Amino acid sequence: MKKTLISVITSVALVTSLIGCKKDTKPVDVKPGGPVTLRLVMKDEGNSNPVAVNYFKALEKGLKEDEGLDVKIELVDMPEGNYAEKLNLMILGGTIPDIIYFQGGDQQISQQGLLEDLKPYIEKSKNLKSSMFAHNTERINNYPYLLWVKPLSQKAPVIRQDWFDKMKTSKALAENPTIENYYNFLKELKDNPPGGAGKPAYGITVAGSILEIDNIFDMAFGNTSTWLKDGSGKYVYSKITSNEKEKLEFYSKLYKEGILDPQFATKKWDTKEKAFFSGEAGVISGTAGKVIDIYEGKMKKADEGSKGLVVLPPAKGKGQGLGATDVTKETRGVAIYSKSQNKETAFKVLDYLASPKGQMLDRLGFENEHYKVVDGKIELTDKSQEWYARFWEPSEFKPSTPLKSSLLGAPGEKSLKMTEEYYAKDINILIPEQFTAKWDAMQNLYKEYSADIITGKKPISSFDDFVKEWNKAGGEEITKYANENIK
């Protein structure tokens, strides 16, 4: 017993001595009894996803080694279905994680005071403030609850290069992407499939709404911003204008001729992608940059004969672009629960992810799997196209070990350049709380009428009925508000 006691005292003294001699040890932010536990919810990043589990374990390790933060990140699993709806139900039911990724539906939550104002944190941040794009700064100033440091997130259309190269209408589309030339291109895809009989079965597919096809055609039909000035100089909502009527008539033509995916209104993102990679659809839209890069990697994996992807230009007409950039707020992003006991620590995690070491994980993935260090340079592996940043993608990424090549392939790079080339600032307003219910009803009214017009359930003349109903449902009030508040 005496020997054991002496042994224990000696061991403690030795450990104490070693700790005392260790240099540059950072203080660890711990609570009594263990690390700070942060609950986090993010689309597709649950405990059933092994890549997500390994990612957040690596993040915990980096936080402790680089910042002295002892943090345990607990992933909150979400049920299948519409993420925004399921998340709101969970939050309104009283289950609110410390860090929340929103993909819509956040305004209802922020209006209840449940989301933290991030501006003071960003102002004092070590990394995030200097990492933000100009549109991020404008959005956080207008709506300080949601942060998403990414390049402009417009969606760009793509097609397989081997199919593009075979088509007779490709050259005309590339040189002069008028609405007529786009129609001829999509019609050739349907009527003379470049992949052989039935490939593709239709020209273009989208996920559950016309938003992705709008990215190609909206500005060409004159919808260059959410609110447009009419002949009298007053603002009018673009979705009730003659531009919109003309556009819906065009979409109806695409649907009637079998060019537009007949299941466009119900398609989910995964079945949309499956249709593209299997050769069922000719054109698909993906978020510019990394998503386009991932699509190219998936296409090459799905079909060894594929040469990759070609990024198509937006249609040209009354205007041209991939859609105006709304700076009223982020459409998706990360928030912090305002009543969390660990708000400071939660933001430190977000700030670390914008640091050089945090970016090594977030942008590159796992060493020896998504990249290797060869001859003193970072060399991307074939699996790198499967990786995407869970959080931030600042424009400048300068790891301590230099990159051998660009993080993106040629289509990903081209799509990003295209968003910059066609950048246009939107004219829009945040809908105030007193109009939220009416605005939601008006949006649903638009979705109903537009879907019925496109599928032929209603004639194009019913668009005039829609405009009348839209105004009665609150359009007149909100239009008056918009004219008083658009700066």
| 259 — pLDDT class (breaks 50, 70, 90) | very high
In the prediction, which pLDDT does 286 show?
95
In the prediction, which pLDDT does 192 show?
97
| 33 — pLDDT class (breaks 50, 70, 90) | low
* Range 27-151+330-386 classified under CATH 3.40.190.10: yes
Q: Which of 244, 171, 217 is nearest to 462 (CA)?
A: 244
More confident position, 7 or 132 = 132
Q: Is the pLDDT of residue 25 over 80?
A: no
Q: Is the pLDDT of residue 26 over 50?
A: no
Query: 260 near 204, Cβ under 8 Å?
Result: yes
Q: Is 293 left (phi over 0), alpha (psi -120 to 50) or beta?
A: alpha
In the prediction, which pLDDT does 468 show?
98
In the prediction, which pLDDT does 14 show?
34
CATH 3.40.190.10 placement within the chain: 27-151+330-386, 155-324
Strands (E), 206-324: 227-229, 235-237, 281-287, 309-311
* Range 155-324 classified under CATH 3.30.450.370: no
In the prediction, which pLDDT does 396 show?
84
| 105 — pLDDT class (breaks 50, 70, 90) | very high
Residues of the chain with pLDDT > 70: what percent? 93
Tens-place pLDDT, residues 217-249? 999 999 999 999 999 999 999 999 999 999 999
In the prediction, which pLDDT does 303 show?
87
Q: CA 106 to CA 75: how far, in whole Å?
A: 19
374 exposure class (CB count in 10 Å sphere: 0-12, 13-18, 19+): exposed
Tens-place pLDDT, residues 185-224? 999 999 999 999 999 999 999 999 999 999 999 999 999 9
Average pLDDT (415-432) is 93
What's the mean per-residue pLDDT of the chain? Answer: 91
Tens-place pLDDT, residues 54-77? 999 999 999 999 999 999 999 999
Buried b (16+ CB within 10 A) or exposed e, 316-343: bbebbbbbbbbbbbbebbbbbbbebebb
Average pLDDT (452-462) is 98
